[in-house]
Amino acid sequence: MDAVAFAVGQWRAEAPTLDHAPTLIFGRLARYAQMLAVMNDRVLAELGLAAWELDVLDTLTRQGAPYSLTAGDLERAMLITSGTTTHRIGRLEARGYVTRSRDADDRRVVNVVLTDAGRAACVTALEALLERQRRALDALETHEQDALTTGLRALGRVLRDAPPDA
């Protein structure tokens, strides 16, 4: 009986006419994501890195050489607003992990390039994170991992199609 199942039990007593089944999936998704974030933060904190910093460095690093994207590319890849993008780039630039420069062909565009220090920090952090996550998954049965992969992929399909209101 986890916290979400308990909460649904409470709700079924209080409002029996409502269908609370979706909470068993979406409520868990939200709560476990929050718990995952805490776990990740603990690993990254030891390396002096915040999750949002790794988010940027990861997005740039996995592009491969020359490890460059525009501000707009980063914004779309990370699902954040343009204001947050500006802020993130500024902080990482101050830390020496990226450089920022106007594009020569289209001067509205800002090119963000990963520095060697930024790439090194990214790889170190990702190694630690993946190691921690792999150990967590080791506690799952194979069929449970398969169920998660199947279920999450299906859920992604739904959430992608769902966005528009209604």
Partner DNA sequence: GCGTATTATCTTGATGTCAAGATAATGCGT
Partner DNA sequence: ACGCATTATCTTGACATCAAGATAATACGC
Interface contacts to DNA, rule CB under 7 A = 50, 52, 70-72, 75, 79-89, 91, 100, 105-110
Distance in Å, CB of 154 to DNA, minimum: 25
For residue 147, the Cα-to-chain-centroid distance in whole angstroms is 21
Of 108, 90, 106, nearest to 98 (Cα)? 90
CA distance 160 to 10: 31
Classify 6 as helix, strand or coil: helix
What type of residue sits at position 25?
Answer: I
What type of residue sits at position 30?
Answer: A
Asked if 151 is part of the footprint of a second copy (rule: CB under 8 A), the reply reads: yes
Asked if 110 is part of the footprint of a second copy (rule: CB under 8 A), the reply reads: no
- Residues of this chain, 18-77, that bind a second copy according to CB under 8 A: 18-26, 28-39, 42, 58-59, 61-64, 77
How would you classify the pairing of strands 98-102 and 68-70? unpaired
Distance in Å, CB of 41 to a second copy, minimum: 11
Distance in Å, CB of 151 to DNA, minimum: 25
- Residues of this chain, 119-138, that bind a second copy according to CB under 8 A: 123, 126-127, 130, 133-134, 136-137
Contact between 144 and 136 (Cβ < 8 Å): no
66 binds, among a second copy, DNA, none (CB under 5 to 8 A by kind): none
